[in-house]
Amino acid sequence: ETGVTQTPRHLVMGMTNKKSLKCEQHLGHNAMYWYKQSAKKPLELMFVYNFKEQTENNSVPSRFSPECPNSSHLFLHLHTLQPEDSALYLCASSQEWSGRPETQYFGPGTRLLVL
């Protein structure tokens, strides 16, 4: 068991829908991440939270809105998505976002399909 859970595992939504992805980590970590994984492409870092503060936003469109109420929970709110946003969305956590390489622990992902 990875210690990082994500819900839902699968999601189908229309372009006008609003939905949220949830991530929870049980590892006592202080940093949490959202990644987008598309077929045959590298993982794309979307957002980083360190001690509940957003530290990275890699030019992600505003139709993706993260929320981190505490160090254990991370949400990704989705609104008016496009078909090209269909992908696997992975959540990860690490001890903290620091000036040292940190091993990241991943959740199983949410497979998103936008119609």
Partner 1 sequence: GQNIDQPTEMTATEGAIVQINCTYQTSGFNGLFWYQQHAGEAPTFLSYNVLDGLEEKGRFSSFLSRSKGYSYLLLKELQMKDSASYLCAVTDSNYQLIWGAGTKLIIKP
| Strands of the chain, DSSP E | 4-7, 10-13, 18-25, 31-37, 44-50, 53-57, 64-70, 73-79, 87-94, 105-106, 110-114
Please give the residues from 22 up to 81 whose contact with partner 1 meets the rule CB under 8 A: 40-43, 45
Count the residues of the shown chain that bind partner 1, applying the rule CB under 8 A: 20
Nearest in space to 75 (alpha carbons), one of 38, 23, 112, 25: 23
Please give the residues from 2 up to 21 whose contact with partner 1 meets the rule CB under 8 A: 2, 4
Among 25, 107, 110, 112, binds partner 1 (CB under 8 A): 107
Q: Residue 96 CB, nearest distance to partner 1 (Å)? A: 11
The footprint of partner 1 (CB under 8 A) covers 2, 4, 40-43, 45, 90, 98-101, 103-109, 111
